[in-house]
Structure 1
Amino acid sequence: MSDHPSIRRFIHLTLLAMLALALLPTPVLAEDGGHEELAALLEDEQARERLIEHLRGAARDDAQATAEEEEAFSLPRQIANITQGIAEGTVTELNAAVAAIRDVNLGDGDNLAEFGMAALDLALVVAITVALFFLLRRLSAPLFRRDSDWALQGSAVSQTVRRTIAVVLAAALDVIIVVLAWVGGYVVTLLFVGGTGEMETRHSLFLNAFLLIEVFKAAIRMIFSSRYEGLRLLPMSGEEAAYWNAWLARLAGFIGYGLLVVVPLTNLNFGTGLGRVAGLLIMLVAFIYALVIILQNKTRVRERLEAMASESTFAFTRFLTNLAARFWHLVALAYFAALAVVTVTRPEDALPFMAQATIQTVVAVLLGSLLAVVLTQVISRQIKVPDETRARFPLLEERLNSYIPTGLKIMRLGILIMVLAVIADAWSLFNLGNWLGSDAGARTIGTVVSVALIVVLATLFWIGVASWIEHRLNPDSDGKEPGAREKTLLTIFRNAIAVALIIMTSMIVLSEIGINIGPLIAGAGVLGLAIGFGAQKLVQDIITGVFIQLENAINAGDVVTAGGITGVAEKLTIRSLGLRDVSGTFHIIPFSSVDSVSNYMRDFAYHVGEYGVAYRENIDDVIVKLRDAFDELIAHEEHKQKIIGELEVHGVTALADSSVNIRVRIKTIPGVQWAIGREYNRLVKMHFDAAGIEIPFPHMTLYFGEDKDGSAPPAHVSMVHRKALQGRKDDGRKRVEDGRADANPTFKGDFDDAED
């Protein structure tokens, strides 16, 4: 490019022309000569520089405007704007209220008389409607009582379902009573109070307010049913439920009738200014009243909630209840403060907004709690599998039931998130409908569903694999005991499948939620390479362990010598061997330290015995006694089952310094060669003693010393009669024949005499 200035100039001119075409208005280009003016502008150096400066200035202005717009939509700026709007609105309303009070004019006596008559017929409509409402409530009391008694019948699970149905029916009946009283009030007002077929504004205001407020009170009665225990959703006494029901009902009636009846009538008769003053006074009194009640019951409600949390069996429910115990009063105060602020700043739609938000919040909490309780009652019951399946898969039922607590926690967490989303939507903090209809909402819902399906499928796959391995390891399933090699390989296979499944599921889940797993895989490759160089011993352990298992060199329960240690193989992993030696010490030996494996448990084994006798003994007689000892050994039924074949006599193996050594060998099934050897040694000793065959042993010469004259002091020696010695030998043989000297252990897997 630097070698071709004409090409560089052409590119610059093309870019400037494109910018100019984008900035210049279309009519200019449409005029005759517009292109010539543009060409002249681009060819003029000073004009081109001015155009560039203009473009840079426009870019700076756009960047500044964008920054101001982002600042306006930032969270601190939004909080500042909301706070400023509340303060300005409050000051404006207070100034308007003071001006309205100063300018109030009650009018002459005729206006007051007319106002009194209007108040009188309004009081008549109120009395008739309320009386009709209480009459209908009294007549329907037996239905509520019967509904409550029905809900308390049955077991704990059936009571939950019954209570749910009973509460819904009672709430519907309560709303029907309100509607009937409202209709009756309308009929009485139209026929008897006003002119025939006519209704004054004040009457319609009260009747509409009555319908809305009493329906809201019906919702309160659905939660705090003071008279009917079976219809009470919250676990509390009747006295406590009556207290909260009365307090909330009075507060709802005071705020509702005040804002829906008193304030509109004040606006109609005395002006909007005085109506605003009435609204402010109503909300101020309601806030003070709520503040007093909340602070009075702060400790009592907290103790009650903490007691409920301590009785809960689920950690998640216990956590939420403890959280509510700590902060319930702050939430309640924030609610009534928000109600007061909204009434001051938005008097035209404050009550409808608060009523809708409150009802939506209460309904969301109730439905979420009800759904959580029903799921807990239904899912928390233990899964039962048929007896035949339990016999084939003993751990299947336990494994399935182990997933229930985790599943319940996830479901309750999902319910909590949905309830919070509905509450945020109710208070205009979050538009749930728009979010669900947007691409982000659809993508999020799809991701959640995909992740849930992936986790469920992975769990089902693991249950299937683990159950299959369990079936293969279970001897009761097909009446066949699995071999040691099969047990070892299946155990290692199960661990490998678990690790691979966890890694694959995690990678797929991360990919589904939008995380690029390419760098993770590359990082894992680099990490694996680093581990391969930095942890060569670990890699060697794993590779050696794999080949040892493939070659069936060691199985769990085998007696082996590995790494210079002899013991029973109790545990095998992919990288190490766990041996317990004869003293009970447990050794963990990495496979990289195993140069060779000596397995004493393959196919068959030998007891090799080498017995030394004195030079004066007849070798043929000694061999006869060795065979006699073997014949006596196999005469024992238990020993005979462990011995394979006959006694192998190898003959004289050495003419040693003090003995003639004769070697024999006994072939046994693997694992019992040590026990057979110990029993055979015992019998050989007895047969040698009975035959008078000497087994050489180190001798000791006693020196009694000398006197000065060279004579030795006398040594008193007593000789034992040979017949007495023979009697002792015969007595020992008799004990053997009686079976009282048989010390052979019955342990099948011993490999040393310390196992006796």
Structure 2
Amino acid sequence: MSLAHADTSPPAAGAPYEALVEVLENEQTRQQLIEQLQLLAQQQGEQTSQDAKEAVPVAEHTATRPSKTKQLAATTRLIATDLGAQFHSLANVTQAMFVDDKDALNSDFDSKEFMHASINLGLVIIATWVLFWLLRRLSMPLFARLSHWSRHGKSKTPVLRLVVGVALAALVDVIAIGLAYTAGGLIATFIIGTTGELTTQGSLFLNAFLVIELLKAGLRVLFSSRYDGLRLLPINASEARYWNRWFALLIGLVGYGVLVVEPLVNINMSATLAQAVNTLVMVVAYIYAVLVILKNRVRLRRAIRLQAEKSTMNASQFSLILLSRIWHWLALAYFSTVFVLTLLSPELALPFVLIATLKTLGLIVLAILLSTLVSQTIGRHIHLSDELRRKLPLLEPRLNSYVPTALRFIRVLIVSMAVLLILNAWHVVDLTAWYESEAGGKLMSKIIAVAIILSISAMVWVVLASLIEHKLNPETGTGQPSARTQTLLLLFRNALAITLATMTFMIALSQIGINIGPLIAGAGVLGLAVGFGAQKLVQDIITGIFIQIENAMNTGDVVTLGGITGTAERLSIRSVGIRDLSGTYHIIPFSSVDTVSNYMRGFGFHVGEYRVAYRENIDDAIQQLQLAYDELAASEAMKNEILAPLEVSGVVALADSSVNIRVRIKSTPGMQWAVGRAYNRLVKQYFEQANIEIPYPHSRVYFGEDKAGHAPAANLRVIEQSVDSALAQQPKRTQAPLTVKLKNNSDTDDAPNEKDDN
């Protein structure tokens, strides 16, 4: 409250002006006087308002209010008129000081006493600042050590080291400010001026020093220019130095001008001059702020866009790009609002703006620190122990796949809360009243309930999926699970995922307030309609269920389904995926499966039929087959795959050009083909060693006929060469040409025109 109003109110009867001065100089009595005046003003305002309501007719209350444009024009005209009157009064008072006009100045103004008080105040200021500078210099080694620890400490979370280091540095800074404030008060009380009495001028300066230096200490927390490890904002040293200097100058100009110069001028010189000084300080500060904003408009836009390019979230990139384009308009609007509010109501505007600004900066810094902390704690790649990774090999990738989504959700939550709290600090919204209301309380309870449900659902899925993975892993101590176990566990995992997602969705809807009864009934009707319209799908599912109950096949089995033979790679409740020998992947619905031929149940047989020529001894051939089996059964690769001795069925056919002997080898399931390939190789080798002929099919040669039915003559020659080396040098003898006529008929092998190509 300005003291000019106190001058216009006469004191109590018989009280001299010296008594009023003593009341104003004493802090306790001055505060009591202010409280009494405020109470009287409030009572007078309430009475005036009540009288006005009784006097104004009802029709005037219902009259149309002025438009927003007219209100803005009136406010602007009022500010301009007030500024003109203040500067006109400032000129008059300044002129009166030089001509010694007592009417324009306070009647008790004494220039000599004013100069003496100014000198004493200057000494207090110098002593306080020198002490504060010395304390800061003594604290510099400690700041350097804290900065080095913050940047190069051994802790795994750098942001925690940064916060701890900044907090300790801020504590040291606040202690230095407190010591300088205390020492300045002692010097002003016992050394300078009247001993044992703290003057009003000294008290005003010390209070302003405490407030302003605490604000500057907060600036040093954000823009520490000398110590990189004690700077909360992620900017370089030159940028920090520039903005720290700019904000410190602005705070010092407004703070000392409003908290020291204006009250001193009001007390010692003139209330009109004090009000004019206050306005002049705010005008200079506003112009200075506007010039700095316009000067750094492009440079800061580029810096913000560079941060947007580094961001990995689309929402953050969009927000930063938008901020880079409009940041200067926001800053100009902020300083313009502060300037206008200060001119209209300085007693209420300055505290409100200061508190709201401090809250805004604190919330922004806290949001940045929380986001950085979350990124550094859970944003890193999660590493599990070797034992846990061995037992649950898919747990680590699954957890790491959830990290980006969790980071996005937490960052959005942090930003949303920061924005709401900033709006609440500026009284745009009232979060306390909204939360205490019925709608706000219900909404918050629903949001918390849905978040808890989603968290529990995610944890249940991770636990159950990890348990299934534990059962499927052969290195967990229970050994390799069976194919049926693998198939059933995989089907159970898929069914669990669908069931858990459906239940979570329905419970979340019920918590929000949506009645899920009609949804369940509609789902039943829809299921019935789908059942009638998609009978093939229902048949697939039912057949698949019975196939799994009967354990007809499992993943990895070699089966024949629908005329396709291959390995079953994937089984679902509706279909099976088969990879055939050529690598083609087939999806076969269970409704088209009539027969399942599984080659992987219990054991397998290699059934081989081996042909020998008619002139060979059958017993010798069987003996060679047995020898080949003995070598196969003794080999390292196959001895564990053969389950029984060789079964010789004997001669099963007297074919056209061969005698067929059948044998059978019992093997482990799935190895009958490998056993057969290895056994065929050995049979070929043993038959060659025993000179047992393996015949191959004979061919009938046909040379065709002409139109008259006569076949052309075939000129056949048989070249004989002696094995004797001497005769090998003689000219080759040939037989006479032999003419053979072949007719096109269906005679048997006794036909005379047939020629064996052997």
Counterpart mapping for 1:274-673 below 5 A: 278-308=277-307, 324-380=323-379, 385-478=384-477, 480-610=479-609, 617=614, 621-622=617-618, 625-626=621-622, 628-636=624-632, 637=635, 638-650=637-649, 663-673=662-672
Change (3 A) 1:95 1:266: farther
- Check conservation: 1:609, 1:664, Cα contact below 8 A: yes
Match of 2:133 in 1: 137
- Check conservation: 1:97, 1:276, Cα contact below 8 A: no
Deviations 1:214-243 (A, max 9, x none): 221221122212233332223334333222
Change (3 A) 1:568 1:194: same
Letter in structure 2 aligned against 1:494 = R
Counterpart mapping for 1:209-228 below 5 A: 209-228=208-227
Letter in structure 1 aligned against 2:331 = A
Match of 1:125 in 2: 121
Give, in angstroms, the shift of residue 550 of structure 1. 2.2
Change (3 A) 1:315 1:169: farther
Letter in structure 1 aligned against 2:148 = L
Letter in structure 2 aligned against 1:589 = I
Bigger Cα displacement from structure 2, 146-155 vs 263-272:
263-272
Distance 1:505 1:712 in 2: 90
Distance 1:463 1:296 in 2: 54
Letter in structure 1 aligned against 2:716 = A
Distance 2:629 2:197 in 1: 121
Greater helix percent: which structure?
Answer: 1
Task: Provide the secondary structure at the position in 1 that maps to 2:576.
Answer: strand
Distance 1:205 1:369 in 2: 36
Change (3 A) 1:158 1:639: closer
- Check conservation: 1:86, 1:341, Cα contact below 8 A: no
Match of 1:93 in 2: 79
Letter in structure 1 aligned against 2:485 = E
Give, in angstroms, the shift of residue 355 of structure 1. 0.6
Give, in angstroms, the shift of residue 438 of structure 1. 4.0
Give, in angstroms, the shift of residue 183 of structure 1. 4.2
Q: 2:145 aligns with which of 149, 163, 170?
A: 149
Q: Identify unmatched segments of 5+ residues in structure 1.
A: 1-67, 725-756
Counterpart mapping for 1:166-245 below 5 A: 166-187=165-186, 189=188, 204-245=203-244
Task: Provide the secondary structure at the position in 2 that maps to 1:167.
Answer: helix
Letter in structure 2 aligned against 1:109 = D
Letter in structure 2 aligned against 1:363 = G
Deviations 1:709-732 (A, max 9, x none): 9995753212478999xxxxxxxx
Distance 1:91 1:507 in 2: 61
Change (3 A) 1:527 1:197: farther
- Check conservation: 1:625, 1:684, Cα contact below 8 A: no
Match of 1:698 in 2: 699
Bigger Cα displacement from structure 2, 111-120 vs 253-262:
111-120
Distance 1:686 1:310 in 2: 72
Deviations 1:233-265 (A, max 9, x none): 233343332221111111112223333445556
Match of 1:109 in 2: 100
Bigger Cα displacement from structure 2, 292-301 vs 564-573:
292-301
Match of 2:746 in 1: none
Match of 1:59 in 2: none
- Check conservation: 2:566, 2:580, Cα contact below 8 A: yes
Letter in structure 1 aligned against 2:394 = L
Tell me the TM-score normalized by structure 1.
Answer: 0.74
Task: Provide the secondary structure at the position in 1 that maps to 2:514.
Answer: coil
Q: Give the aligned length.
A: 647
Distance 2:671 2:315 in 1: 56
Give, in angstroms, the shift of residue 203 of structure 1. 5.4
Bigger Cα displacement from structure 2, 374-383 vs 478-487:
374-383
Distance 1:322 1:278 in 2: 41
Distance 2:268 2:517 in 1: 74
Distance 1:224 1:657 in 2: 102
Deviations 1:127-149 (A, max 9, x none): 52254134322233232332332
- Check conservation: 2:600, 2:669, Cα contact below 8 A: yes
CA RMSD of aligned residues (A): 4.2
Q: Identify unmatched segments of 5+ residues in structure 2.
A: 1-60, 726-758
Distance 1:196 1:253 in 2: 29
- Check conservation: 2:453, 2:508, Cα contact below 8 A: yes
Letter in structure 1 aligned against 2:717 = H
Give, in angstroms, the shift of residue 472 of structure 1. 1.3
Bigger Cα displacement from structure 2, 270-279 vs 341-350:
270-279
- Check conservation: 2:123, 2:192, Cα contact below 8 A: no
Task: Provide the secondary structure at the position in 2 that maps to 1:607.
Answer: strand
Letter in structure 2 aligned against 1:482 = P
Counterpart mapping for 1:74-93 below 5 A: 86-93=72-79
- Check conservation: 1:613, 1:696, Cα contact below 8 A: no
Match of 1:28 in 2: none
Identity of aligned residues (%): 46
Tell me the TM-score normalized by structure 2.
Answer: 0.74
Give, in angstroms, the shift of residue 481 of structure 1. 1.2
- Check conservation: 2:147, 2:228, Cα contact below 8 A: no
Give, in angstroms, the shift of residue 352 of structure 1. 0.7
Change (3 A) 1:592 1:114: farther
Letter in structure 1 aligned against 2:598 = N
Give, in angstroms, the shift of residue 281 of structure 1. 4.2
Distance 2:132 2:220 in 1: 16
Deviations 1:275-325 (A, max 9, x none): 665555433332332222122223333333444555567888777665654
Deviations 1:370-391 (A, max 9, x none): 3333444344455554544443
- Check conservation: 2:305, 2:320, Cα contact below 8 A: yes
Distance 1:566 1:196 in 2: 110
Match of 1:64 in 2: none
Bigger Cα displacement from structure 2, 710-719 vs 471-480:
710-719
Task: Provide the secondary structure at the position in 2 that maps to 1:478.
Answer: coil
Give, in angstroms, the shift of residue 613 of structure 1. 6.6
Bigger Cα displacement from structure 2, 559-568 vs 439-448:
439-448
Distance 1:645 1:532 in 2: 51
Give, in angstroms, the shift of residue 427 of structure 1. 0.8
Give, in angstroms, the shift of residue 540 of structure 1. 2.8
- Check conservation: 2:558, 2:565, Cα contact below 8 A: yes
Give, in angstroms, the shift of residue 428 of structure 1. 0.9
Counterpart mapping for 1:700-715 below 5 A: 700-701=701-702, 714-715=715-716
Change (3 A) 1:295 1:681: same
Task: Provide the secondary structure at the position in 2 that maps to 1:588.
Answer: strand
Distance 1:522 1:174 in 2: 68
Give, in angstroms, the shift of residue 415 of structure 1. 2.9
- Check conservation: 1:559, 1:567, Cα contact below 8 A: yes
Letter in structure 1 aligned against 2:210 = L
Distance 1:298 1:156 in 2: 38
Change (3 A) 1:352 1:305: same
Match of 1:716 in 2: 717
Distance 2:144 2:71 in 1: 49
Task: Provide the secondary structure at the position in 2 that maps to 1:596.
Answer: coil
